Amino acid sequence: MSESMKYFREQRLPHIWCPGCGHGTVTGALVRAIARLNLDRSNVVVVSGIGCSSRAPGYLDFDTLHTTHGRALAFATGVKHSRPNLKVIVMTGDGDCTAIGGNHFIHAARRNIDITTIVMNNNIYGMTSGQFSPMTPKGMIGTTAPYGNSERSFDLANLAIAAGATYVARATAYHATLLEDLIEKALLNKGFSVVEAVTQCPTYLGRRNKLGTAVDMLNWFKESAVNIKAAKAMAPEKLEGKFMIGELYNKPDSEFTADYDQLVAQLQRKFDNFQGGVRECAQNSD
């Protein structure tokens, strides 16, 4: 634990999350994965958007950027494209990432830009007290779905894979050690990595939907999650009502900023007689 504590801004603790919230567990898993890799604190930038999840970077001792709602990945793209040597991590929530930030999410995946995205999926807008999100299961209650959510929800992992992410995994706040392992592998992938961390919001999702205490919700994760490796050996009827955890996709591919670096190197060889100053501008099209 002491190894990972150095990555926290201890003076910023305690955190603002509700009792029983799973976000601390996810943040802990991220920090332990970072500690395992012994990443240099000064070489990591953590970016977030708006919502409960997005308060996490404030507690972490890196350069941290708390941005506007949904835009974390766009800001992070600017950081990473500017300084590809920096390790860029995005901490986001289900609403931040899949509703208002959905476009940035699919395009970051399409580019395969080297950003590790941790989506803290608590299936609800917690900060604003419990409106349904694109990840709220159909039928569940939210303040804006008082008769039960009538919308279908995203399968975030499949969305990420289809959009081009090269590492996609899922775990829950119950499966904290698995989560840590998966985040570590995500951090090692040179490309766009997504780890969906299913976490409990006992205050808003749990209470309204009579899901019990935080412990009850964690037990529900334990019973409903099936590791993808185990699932392969299971009969389809046994998998009904379950969701997959583990490494769902891992297929490295060429990375955006590295490709751009190559382009720069190529062009600089071509223009290597350039002595600085303002270069003659290319003729513009009309």
Question: Given the rule CB under 8 A, which residues bind other proteins?
Answer: 12, 41-43, 45, 47, 57-58, 61-68, 71, 74-79, 81-83, 85-86, 103-104, 107, 260, 263-264, 267-268, 271, 274, 277-279, 281-286
Q: Least distance (Å) from other proteins to the CB of residue 23?
A: 16
Using the minimum distance from each CB to other proteins, give the nearer residue, 45 or 165: 45
Q: Least distance (Å) from other proteins to the CB of residue 198?
A: 26
Q: Contact 39/30 with Cβ under 8 angstroms?
A: no
Using the minimum distance from each CB to other proteins, give the nearer residue, 108 or 218: 108
Using the minimum distance from each CB to other proteins, give the nearer residue, 109 or 173: 109
Q: Which residues have a Cβ under 8 Å from the Cβ of 180 and sit 6 or more positions away?
A: 29, 32, 33, 36
Q: Least distance (Å) from other proteins to the CB of residue 268?
A: 7
Using the minimum distance from each CB to other proteins, give the nearer residue, 115 or 244: 115
- CB-side neighbour CA atoms (13 Å) of 243: 17
Where are the alpha helices (H) located in the chain, listed in sequence order? Answer: 2-5, 23-36, 72-82, 94-95, 102-111, 156-163, 176-188, 207-208, 214-224, 228-231, 256-270
Q: What DSSP element (H or E) covers 203?
A: none
Cβ-count burial of 275 within 10 angstroms (0-12 exposed, 13-18 middle, 19+ buried)?
exposed
Residue 211 has a CB neighbour count (10 Å cut-off) of 16
Which of 75, 145, 112 is closest to 249 using CA atoms?
112
Using the minimum distance from each CB to other proteins, give the nearer residue, 78 or 139: 78
Cβ-count burial of 216 within 10 angstroms (0-12 exposed, 13-18 middle, 19+ buried)?
middle
Using the minimum distance from each CB to other proteins, give the nearer residue, 177 or 268: 268
Q: Least distance (Å) from other proteins to the CB of residue 85?
A: 7
Q: Least distance (Å) from other proteins to the CB of residue 171?
A: 27
Q: Contact 26/173 with Cβ under 8 angstroms?
A: yes
Q: Least distance (Å) from other proteins to the CB of residue 110?
A: 9
